[in-house]
Each structure stands twice: as C-alpha cells, then as structure tokens.
Structure 1
Amino acid sequence: MPVLGLLLACAAQAPLAAPFEDSMAQRLLACTGCHGPQGRAGRDGYYPRLAGKPAGYLYQQLLSFRDGRRQYGPMNTLLAPLSDDYLQDVATHFANLELPYPPPQSRAPAPADQQRAQALVRQGQAQRKLPACQQCHGEALLGRQPGVPGLLGLPRDYLLAQLAAWRLGERRSKAPDCMADIARRLDPEDIRALANWLSAQAVPAGAKPAPVSEQPLPLRCGGLP
C-alpha cells in the first residue's frame, strides 16, 4: 500500500479527540493533578481537599499563595499571574462541589491523646487563651461560612505540617493572624494529639460547613472575608 494510503487508513481508524470544553472544570485540571480528581485530596496525605470548603476560605488561601503569605513554590508560581476575580472563580468552583469523603486513614488515637484533643476541641483552655476549636470551626468541625475551613477529612501529616507552620511563622494570614496566635499557644503534645484525633474522625455523608455564626467569633481574624 502506498505511504499516503497507509496514513489515510490509520487516520480513519484513530479515535477522534474529545472536543475542548472551555469550562472551569477543564481549566482547573492543573489543580487536580496534585489535589486529586475534582479536588478530593491528593493520595500522599499532604495535598489537601479543595472540594466543598467555604469559598471565602479558599479565596483567602489563593490570595495568600499569590501574594507570598504562604510559601510553596509550585503554588506561588502557578497563581502569580492570576487576578483577584479569577481566583474568586476558582474558589467558587471548588466550593460548589459536593463530593463524598473517603473513610479516615488514621486509627483511633491512644486514650491520652483522645482525651487531650477532645478537651481542646470542645472546651478550649481559658488560662492559655485557647478557645475551643468548635467555636470557630463549627460544632461538627466541618467549617463555617463564609471563610472558616473544616478540620475533619484532613490527613494527619497535613494537620501536623500546617499547625507547625502556623506556630513557626512559615504560614501567615492577614493581621490579626488568629491561627498563628493559637498555634503558638499550643504545645507540641497538643498538636500531636489534635492531629491524631482529628484525622481519625469520619466525615458524615452530606457534610457541609455551618452557616454564618450569629455570635462573634472568640478572636479577631484578619484572614476572614
């Protein structure tokens, strides 16, 4: 068969390429390479879930990466040329995804860690000016609109890394930086217990962030919308 005829025969049998879909889902495939399909979280336990988090929280984190308050080279580079409006569109896209959470990967912590974590989550510790986690992150720890993230459904290693980054000043938010203040008041044992306990909790089906609180939050947080 002549070469031209062979090429035409092969072309006729080749599957047609899928048409390009100019949508946010198509554009944000660059994000899901690390953060998992549809932003469900990466497999390595470090890249967190994006799907279903409050849009205000996601937007503030994108701004922080773009503007240098959070340091991670690939994110800083990827977001550097993007406008505020486009970052808001990215945040809204992921916030509107309602996807199930996988079962927790961590086992139930030791009783001492469990007791320590539950006390911090539910009561806080007034003498150290530590509010209960539930006061900001919602009674079910699923986050609160418009800009407080959930604490459940996050891997242990990610929780450890982020709390340590707040504590050491490697992660920052707009002043007043409430999470940095809280993290600096936590002992390393507190951080370990919280990460062990939170990462072992299952996320209920249909979980969503709590609505906007009618009561003021216990601390002023510059990173909130």
Structure 2
Amino acid sequence: MKFKFLVLLFSLGIGNPGNAQNLEKGKEINSTCAGCHGELGQGGSRGEYPRLAGQQVKYLESQLKAFRARTRVNIPMYPYTQERELPDEDIKDVAAYLASIELPTKWPVFKDSDDALTRLTLTERVMIIPRAPGNLANGEAIYQKKCVTCHGKTGMGRGMFPMLVGQYTSYLMRQMEKYIKGERPHDEEAVGGLLNTLKEEDLQDILAYVTSMQERQ
C-alpha cells in the first residue's frame, strides 16, 4: 500500500522532486539487479554485495554512471551499466525505486489475523546489521569530526554522499581499504586523503559506531 501511495505522489509531482521518477519502471529494472543485490535491494547476506535499499538517490545515480565510465572499476557491473542497457533515464528510475524501499531494523509485531504469507513478507524486509566490535567512544569522536559533514549525524548520508547506517560492515571495510589504496576515488582530488590519516583500529572503531547508530533509526 505504501509503495502504491508513493507512486501516486510522485506521478502527481508531490514529494521530493529528485525522486519524481517512474517507480514502477524502476522496480522492473531492479529485477536484473536483484540477482546480486536482492529483490528488496538488501544486498548479499555476507556483505559481498552492498545494500542499495534506502540509499541516497544522487549517490546511486552517480555510482551507476561511474561504473559505466569505469572511473569506479567493477568489471561485473560494466555490461549492465552501458548506455544501451541502462540509459540515464533508467538510471534515475531504478535509483528512485531503490531509495524508496524501507527495510526496518526491528522485528514486526504480528496480528492474530496475519496469514503465513504476510508474516513471511514482513519478516523478509527486516535488516539488522550485527554490532561491530570496537571502541565506540573513539569511533564517535572520529565520525563526528571527520565524517559527519558528508554522511550526516545519523549516518543516513545526504545528496551525493551515501548512507552508511544499515550497510554491511564487511562491505564498508573493503571500500575504505580501496579508498586508502587509491583503487576507488573518495571525495578528495589529491593523492591520499582523509582515510589515509587514520589507523586501522580507528577504521574499526568507526564501523562499531556506525552499527550502534542503526539501533536509533
């Protein structure tokens, strides 16, 4: 019901103008992505594929275009993001659709009248990332000083910068390692960057803090 309501709002031009796209078409396009990222954009159970559900629209759009241009190197993604397979308008539609998906972090409370299919459907949407070990106080201090400007106080991201809360910690760690090695561009133009100034234990502490924020959503 909520999805259909969102489709109606966006078709009428109500709501976030950045998401005024064809969500039904985006859902259809996502059927190709679902093979790796899941029907609900929940990603791989071990973080081999990132969660896309609820991610920032502009970030999703920019990364799909980066795969196409090979400024972000990922060979399996390259054929799916070519202009003939995924034109810009399709990128906008699938990004808007994925951003509209909400994955709760708490188990649902069922009514006695809920049938088995309803219970299964609601349960499948739940996504709880396990708490990562680390020093929460140090992780919070570093996050608030170095990460909050782009990723927001609650880790939900903003604009071109991605949501971190609810993302697989193993995936986030791999991406941080790629940034540090220069295998993937971060937000700095010069060689090195913000993450290169941090110790390995600092990176782990940031992940610990990010997973702790999930419980407050």
TM-score by length of 1: 0.67
Which runs of 5 or more structure 1 residues have no equivalent in the other structure? 1-21, 125-130, 206-225
Q: Give me the CA root mean square deviation.
A: 2.4
For residue 114 of structure 1, what is the aligned residue in structure 2?
Answer: 136
Structure 2 equivalent of residue 149 of structure 1: 162
Tell me the CA shift for residue 197 of structure 1.
3.2
Is structure 2 residue 31 aligned with structure 1 residue 34?
A: no
2:180 to 167, 171, 175: 167
The residue aligned with 1:189 is: 201
Please name the residue that 2:148 is paired with: 134
> How many Å separate the matches in 2 of 1:143 and 1:46?
21
1: CA distance between counterparts of 2:100 and 2:59? 13
Q: How many equivalent residue pairs?
A: 171
Q: Cα distance 1:203–1:149, how it changes in 2: closer, same or farther (>3 A)?
A: farther
Q: Distance in 2 between matches of 1:179 and 1:148?
A: 20
Q: 1:178 to 1:196 in 2, by over 3 A?
A: farther
Amino acid at match of 1:153: G
CA-CA distance at 1:204 after TM superposition: 4.3
Q: Distance in 1 between matches of 2:57 and 2:215?
A: 19
Q: Output one character per residue of 1:93-147: Cα deviation in whole Å (capped at 9) or x when no partner.
A: 212223324222235x24xx2222111012x2xxxxxx3x222211111112x22
**Structure label with greater radius of gyration:** 1
Per-residue CA deviation, residues 19-38 of structure 1 (Å, 9 max, x unaligned), is: xxx83312321111211222
Kept after mapping to 1: 8 A contact 2:25/2:93: no
Q: Name segments (4+ residues, structure 1) moved above 6 Å.
A: none
Hey, which of these two has a bigger chunk of helix by percent?
2
Partner of 1:94: 98
Alignment correspondent of 1:54 = 56
Identical-residue share of aligned pairs (%): 30
Gaps of 5+ in 2: 1-23, 106-126
So what's the TM-score if we normalise by structure 2?
0.69
Q: Check whether the contact 2:29–2:90 (CA below 8 A) recurs between aligned residues.
A: no
